Structure 1
Amino acid sequence: MRTAFVRRTVLTASAVSLAVLATACGSSEGKKEDAKPSAGAATSAAPAAKAKTDAELAGLLVAQADLPQHVVKPATPAEAAAGAGATSDKPECLPLVKAQSMAPVGSAGGTARTKAVAKPKEPAADASPEEKLKAAMDALGGTATAVTLSSYDGKGAEEAFALLKSAGTACAGGYTGTQDGEALKIQKVAPGAAVTAGDEALAYTVVGDADGEKLSMELVVVRKGNALATFSAVSLTGTAEQPKAVVDAQVKKLG
Structure 2
Amino acid sequence: MKVRTTVVVASALVLCLAAAGCGPDDGGDKGTGEKATASRTPASGSGATATPEAGSAATPTSNGRTLTEAELAKVALTTGEVEGYEIAPLEGTDERGTEEAGTEACRPIAAIINGSPEPAPAATVFRTAMDTTEEGRDDQTVVTEILTSHPEGGAQELLRSVRAAVGACSGGFGTTSEDGPSTYTEVRTLPVTKAGQESFAYQVTGSLEGVRVPLVFHLVRTGSTVVTFYAANFLGGNAPEVPAALVTAQAAKLP
TM-score (norm 2): 0.71
- Out of 105, 108, 111, which is 2:118 matched to? 105
Helix, strand or coil at the partner of 2:121: coil
What amino acid maps onto 2:253 in structure 1?
A: K
* Residue 95, structure 1, aligned to residue 108, structure 2: yes
Mapped contact 2:192–2:201 kept (Cα < 8 A): yes
C-alpha distance in 1 between matches for 2:182 and 2:141: 19
What amino acid maps onto 1:254 in structure 2?
A: L
- Out of 70, 76, 93, which is 1:55 matched to? 70
What amino acid maps onto 1:113 in structure 2?
A: F
C-alpha distance in 2 between matches for 1:116 and 1:178: 30
Identity of aligned residues (%): 24
Count of matched residue pairs: 206
Helix, strand or coil at the partner of 1:66: coil
Mapped contact 1:53–1:109 kept (Cα < 8 A): yes
What amino acid maps onto 2:125 in structure 1?
A: A
**What is the root-mean-square deviation of aligned Cα atoms in Å?**
2.8
Mapped contact 2:134–2:140 kept (Cα < 8 A): no
Larger RCO: Structure 1 or Structure 2 (Cα < 8 Å, ≥ 6 residues apart)? 2
Q: Write out per-residue CA displacement over residues 135-192 of structure 1, whole angstroms, 9 at most, x where no aligned residue.
A: x4xx110222110111111111111111111011011111234566255421101111
C-alpha distance in 1 between matches for 2:89 and 2:178: 20
Helix, strand or coil at the partner of 2:195: coil
Mapping of residues 233-248 of structure 1, within 5 Å: 233-238=231-236, 239-248=239-248
Q: Write out per-residue CA displacement over residues 17-65 of structure 1, whole angstroms, 9 at most, x where no aligned residue.
A: xxxxxxxxxxxxxxxxxxxxxxxxxxxxxxx954211121111111112
In structure 1, what is the equivalent of residue 250 of structure 2?
Answer: 250
C-alpha distance in 1 between matches for 2:6 and 2:234: 10
C-alpha distance in 2 between matches for 1:6 and 1:194: 31
* Residue 232, structure 1, aligned to residue 230, structure 2: yes
C-alpha distance in 2 between matches for 1:223 and 1:63: 19
C-alpha distance in 1 between matches for 2:222 and 2:209: 37
Of Structure 1 and Structure 2, the greater helix share is in 1
C-alpha distance in 1 between matches for 2:199 and 2:6: 23
Structure 2: unaligned runs, 5 residues or longer: 16-62
CA pair 215-113 structure 1, distance change in 2 beyond 3 A: same
Compute the displacement of 1:203 (Å): 0.7
Mapped contact 2:124–2:149 kept (Cα < 8 A): yes
Structure 1: unaligned runs, 5 residues or longer: 16-47, 123-135
* Residue 66, structure 1, aligned to residue 81, structure 2: yes
CA pair 5-196 structure 1, distance change in 2 beyond 3 A: farther
What amino acid maps onto 2:142 in structure 1?
A: A
